[in-house]
Structure 1
Amino acid sequence: MAKCGVCYRQCEIPEDGRGFCGVRGCINGTIRPLNYGKITSIALDPIEKKPLSMYMPGSLILSVGSYGCNLRCPFCQNYDISWSDYAYKLEDDARFMSPEELAGMARMYKNQGNIGVAFTYNEPLIGYEYVRDTARLVHDRSMKNVLVTNGMASLDVLKELIPHIDAMNIDLKSFTDYFYDELILGNRKMVMNFIKEAVKHCHVELTTLIIPRENDTVREMELLSSWIASLEDVYGGKSGKDIPLHISRFFPRFNMTDREPTSVDLVYKLADVARKELTNVFTGNC
């Protein structure tokens, strides 16, 4: 048995077992990412889809995903590769790509406008070793690395990755412990600590999906945006007020089909609330 230190769960994993995320396993008493190099999704995407609106806009980026996640969002749009019960079915069919192969593919697409690699689709931090190893090689080829993450990982994981990451989009899914603890089985404090440190080291944009009757009040947006604005030592000599926030519209999906899509008017209203604290607020799915 060995303990995994990636997120707050600190899973005690028995020999040949797996942690909550479904991909970190114990082999010969050592924790290893069982999804290392196993790719389920790959596409050349506009960088705005990550979403990143203020980092190299107009660029394309080779976006890759594996499987597994350390959250259980009932509204997940990629549940088939993120929720362990579904992701296991893809394990044997996933395509193995070594870090060298993926970095080489990124370089091959450079003449089509590709700027590098985005680690996205599922949660990349549960397989951070592959991100680290690949991102080093992408940098060696003078290209960029982007991380799209839920931010629920330890600062030790961030410390290993940050020298190799140029930009991140991090979900700040809510500003209540209930939302994290009960709805998505996460830990808000860990995510906030991750964001607080990440903004010091690279370009960071944040995303909040507005879900009716869950995180859609003016008061919560006031608290969330005020906290972002209070962040210090932001990369590039900026302030917390300059950190971009994407406020996105929810649509019923997966295990959350018991409510209507978020009102467009409400998304715009909450964006105006956030703009009282933040300079760069964007709306999505509207």
Structure 2
Amino acid sequence: MKTICPVCMHHCQLAEGQVGRCRGRQNQGGKILPINSGVITALALDAIEKKPLRHFYPGRLILSVGSFGCNLHCPFCQNARIAMAGRRDVEAMILSPEELARRAEGMRHQGNIGLAFTYNEPLIGYEFVVEAARLVQDRGMKTVLVTNGSATPEITRQVLPHIDALNIDLKGFTQEVYENLGGTLEVVKAFITQAVDAGCHVELTTLVVPGLNDDPGEMEAMARWIAHLSPDIPLHVTRFFPAHLMWRDDPTPLSTVYGLAEVARGSLNDVYEGNMGL
């Protein structure tokens, strides 16, 4: 008997012991449970601008935590070492939500404002995110979610009450782009809309990959859609550098990023170019 995973658009049908496409959830006794809960592969005190967030506590630091696994398979993944990995592929420490919240609170004297779930796709282990975020908020600190937004509305409703700010990857604005990455554009659009409607602080990021999503018309359509939600939503238009399966490709030309950012400014008030270093 197979059980359907409720977390994302894949709705993986898993037999006993089988792991889903995300590599982070497994059928255990007829229940689909996260196997990456508390499995910490990365932990760092980062500038909030690295998430990237420009309009949420600028100039401050936030404890950033990652695990393993992702429900997309982007060939340009910047964190493929953990995002494309399974449990046996990573070195990790085990931290409970309570231990993580205590670490976040213990770094207040260093300027830490809270906890950011990032590096891999946090929502494949949404249960851990909810529990840790709740404990951090109980301590009067802030929570941040950096996500690809590929989660069902039901899961999203459980997560958003415990999140103060999000940076959501909007990989492109055609279903063809998302099919190349193993995702669904409408699912991500619905996730963004839910986050905005919930009153969370929302910023968006589009990594511009040559030949994938660098069409000005696509950027214009994307920016108009974002502006329909609010023209004040910040958009980060960032530059691709060779990584993962595209390690032999050239970086995105600077002129392409600047040009697409200018297109987006036709509809949005706050557009930022990112990863522009040589």
Alignment TM-score > 0.5, same fold: yes
1:109 maps to which of 107, 113, 122: 107
**Which residue of structure 2 aligns with residue 264 of structure 1?**
254
Partner of 2:201: 203
**TM-score under structure 1 normalisation?**
0.94
Q: Residues of 2 paired with 1:156 and 1:84: CA distance?
A: 26
Matched, 1:83 2:84: yes
SS in 2 for 1:205: strand
Q: Report the CA distance between 1:214 and its aligned residue.
A: 1.1
Aligned residues: 274
Indicate which of 225, 228, 232 corresponds to 1:227: 225
1:167-246 counterparts in 2 under 5 A?
Answer: 167-181=165-179, 183-201=180-198, 202-231=200-229, 240-246=230-236
Aligned to 1:17: 18
The structural deviation recorded for 1:101 is: 0.2
Give 1:84 shift. 3.4
Provide runs of 4+ in structure 1 moved above 4 Å.
none
Aligned with 1:255: secondary structure?
A: helix
> What do the CA deviations read for 1:181-215 (whole angstroms, capped 9, x no partner)?
1x211111101110011112200000001111111
Match for residue 35 of structure 1? 36
Q: Which moved more, 1:93-102 or 1:144-153?
A: 93-102
In structure 2, distance between residues paired with 1:84 and 1:139: 30
How far the C-alpha of 1:258 sits from its partner, in A, is: 4.8
Match of 1:94 in 2: 92
TM-score for the superposition, normalised by structure 2: 0.97
Name the CA distance, whole Å, in 2 between partners of 1:12 and 1:218: 38
Deviation at 1:160, TM superposition (A): 0.6
In the alignment, is the contact (CA less than 8 A) between 1:18 and 1:24 conserved in 2?
A: yes
Alpha-carbon distance between aligned partners in 1 of 2:135 and 2:168, rounded to the nearest angstrom: 23
User: Secondary structure of 2:18's match?
Assistant: coil
Q: Among the aligned pairs, what percent are the same residue?
A: 53
Residue type of the alignment partner of 1:185: G
2:148 is matched with which residue: 147, 150, 157?
A: 150
- Mapped to 2, the partners of 1:259 and 1:115 lie a distance apart of 37
CA distance in 2, matches of 1:164, 1:214: 34
Residue of structure 1 in register with 2:126 after alignment: 128
TM-superposition CA deviations, 1:2-50 (whole Å, max 9, x none): 1101111110111011110011101111110011111000000000000
Query: What is the Cα deviation at residue 88 of structure 1?
Result: 3.3
Query: Secondary structure of the equivalent of 2:89?
Result: helix
